[in-house]
Chains A and B, each alone.
Chain A
Amino acid sequence: MAFASIYVPDFMVQSVVRGEPPLRGRAVALIQGAPPLSSVVAANEAAWLAGIELGMNKSQAADFGTVEIRPRSPAQEKAAHAALLDLGWSVSPRVEDAAPDAIILDLAGLASIFGPEEKIAAKLVEHASKLGLSANVAVASNIESALHAARGFSGITVIPPGEEARRLGCLPVSALLPSAEIMEILERWGVRNCAALAALPVLELSERLGQEGVRLHELARGARERSLTLAEPAFFFEEEMELDDSVEELEPLAFLLGRLLDQLCARLAARSLAASTIQVQFDLEPSFEKDFRLLSADSLRKDAPKTYWKTLALPVPMRDSKMLLKLLRLHLQRDPPLAPILKITMAADPARPRVAQGGLFLPASPDPEKLELTVARIANLVGEANIGSPESMDTHRPDEFRMSRFATSHGAAENRRKSAGENGRDHARRKSGAVPAIAFRVFRPSVPASVELCEGRPIRVEFRGMRGDVVAASGPWRTSGDWWREDGWQQDEWDLEIRFYYSPRLPAERSYKNGQNTKSAKALPQCGLYRFYYDSVRQSWFVRGMYD
């Protein structure tokens, strides 16, 4: 049985650097607290070497020109820790959440999948790097040895069974995390490293240090056994970023969103998941001009910053961060936030990735991810409400429909299978050699018309500057509904075949009569099939459309 421990040194600093990749390799110090009382709480190796010390205030730390000063971010630490757990679950189903900066994995049974322990450790380091973390990985036959080895040795450490005491011997006693009191005692005794502690007789040690001393003795020898405390797999993917200066423009905002998406997608990929929706929340800069009141108690009260929500519902689960960024940009262009942004929170709803199975007999359909991008671009052009699939409503009201989301190829294939099974109208009609239906072009809105009646029948009409005689009529066909509502309707419909004797469209300079050029308005008769209706509510005639 083998266990691997992943430890992230300088975890607080790495959490911040994870959200700001250009800081990698540079000296970074973190400050915490409200100014002017803020002080340095963490720093990386390069910052220590430059002279940074814990407790320095911001101005003192800023004197070190080569050191980047950043505020500590609990939100980013939380996200980094979640990423660490995702890394563990990407390899093993049994993971212990040992500390904010360390996790432990059970490697039992993984050799047949990932290979020997050295290979697994290398894979963990590589994946950690993809998640923006630089980690130490140690493999040992018991949990505590692996944990302490990861904390004590940089890079990859593999301790063969039985070698724990020898390998851990060079570690300082402080790596075992003893209490301050015991640490002081051990220092007075001259016990500096684990080998020295392991050499002490355990019975005498227990008499002087009690059970804690026995525990430390076991840890120093690498002989302490315990069971793994399993962490519940979490399907919560959220990343946050607090900004020092508010962001107003879309370009810099897109840059930041891209970083968050990269982190989210890397975490999703580590768990073999994809995002079905992306929720973005912006904390906006409050408008102080509106809240400013002189000599008033209200001036001491700050309104909570306003927030902006945007949910990106994806047609299929995706984890392509570049595609997601393009979609998010298009949505933000259409509906931008109304104030500068101070904080960004991004969350993804996890789902299983799409498994696409092409069919030989299915019609060609666009790739769902490209289609979503195309639809988003067109929606920016014509408006979100003006693109989609028309869907008939369950009503007899004329021209009643709604625009619904266009189905992807997967959805379309499902719909096709359903429609083929439940309603074989298309197939049956083609088999019987049925004649295609006449097309109808709708006038939106309906065109007002003047209709001359004779004995209740239309004989002459005028609309859109055109006048004509009715040469054939079918109707009236009454249709009505929703009488119990304020927008109830009642219409008498007519199908009219009209011969126009005047139309602004007709070329007045041409004439087909006797080869003579005339500019008479009655130069060329033209026929058309139209649907008229008399609206009893508005008591007017309208043209609904024409048969084409």
Chain B
Amino acid sequence: MDDAFDPESAEAAGVELKQLLWVRCRNIDQALRATDLLLQGGGFGLVAVDLSDISPETVRYVPLNAWFRFRRAVEDTPTILMLLEQETNAKTCASLVLRLEAEPARWTFTRETAHTWKTVALENHVREIRDANFFSHSSACLLDGSGVRAEVLRSRTQSVAGAGVRGEFAAADAVDATGIFETKAMWGYPGGLPVEKYKPK
């Protein structure tokens, strides 16, 4: 939806574009009908529906039986149907509901710039930088990436408390089943330059 897919970043993330079928929809009706056709056609490993740019009020108007129909279509098939939205709408139709929140960004800059970095305040995961010297070195600074906090809100596949995470995920908190994984910007680092990574505390 809203045609926000970026092939370049997807390819950098390891997506094989030749195996990706992209349907560029103009409204939620097209998106839902295209999803229905893809699920009925079958054979896809993953069908991802991006509704995150649609206002929650609009998505709430989607009748619940649509989500039920989608669930029935993927039941007992190897297809995963993934919905990206601002709030959960599929309700009990969903086997797994994850809440994802962005963590503060990580920046990479030269050692000289790092000495002028100062963190003034930290409130609600928001970092405020007041040191004007930082801006004077913006060309010596690169976005390194950011973290994503994932919280399991509902899961039918396994118990929430015992939700396992592996690979790049940080260990899940056994109490509230959250995990953090880091993402990295696509470009590499300039070779030979002294660099330091800054990560908010």
A residues lining the B interface (CB < 8 Å):
363-367, 370-371, 373-375, 377-378, 381-382, 386-392, 399, 401, 403, 406-407, 409, 411-412, 415-416, 419, 425-426, 429, 433-444, 454-455, 457, 459, 471-476, 494-495, 497, 499, 512, 525, 527-529, 545, 547-548
Contact = CB atoms under 8 A, between A and B. Distances in A.
Contacts of B43: 364-367, 370-371, 409
B9 A364 contact: no
Given A378-B23, A416-B19, A472-B134, A495 B143 contact: yes
A393 to B, nearest CB: 10
A373 B21 contact: no
B41 to A, nearest CB: 3
Contacts of A529: 102, 105, 143, 146
Given A416-B19, A437-B183, A390 B7 contact: yes
A374 B38 contact: yes
B4 A441 contact: yes
B23 A436 contact: no
Contacts of B115: none
B102 to A, nearest CB: 8
Interface stretch (B24-32, B58-66, B87-95): B24-32
Given A457-B138, A473-B138, A527-B104, A439 B7 contact: no
A370 B41 contact: yes
B23 to A, nearest CB: 5
29 contacts: A365-B43, A370-B41, A370-B43, A375-B21, A378-B23, A378-B38, A387-B23, A387-B24, A388-B21, A392-B17, A401-B7, A411-B18, A415-B16, A426-B16, A437-B9, A437-B183, A440-B6, A455-B136, A457-B138, A472-B134, A473-B135, A473-B138, A474-B107, A474-B138, A474-B143, A476-B138, A495-B143, A499-B126, A545-B4
A475 B138 contact: yes
A363 B18 contact: no
Nearest to A368: B43
Given A390-B10, A475-B138, 19 more contacts: A366-B42, A366-B44, A367-B43, A374-B37, A378-B23, A382-B23, A406-B21, A407-B18, A415-B19, A434-B184, A435-B182, A435-B184, A436-B13, A436-B181, A439-B13, A442-B5, A476-B138, A529-B146, A547-B146
B184 A415 contact: no
A426 B14 contact: yes
B87 to A, nearest CB: 12
Contacts of A497: 105
A426 to B, nearest CB: 5
A525 B21 CA distance: 37
B98 interface: no
A69 B23 CA distance: 51
A165 B52 CA distance: 87
A528 B146 CA distance: 11
A442 B4 contact: yes
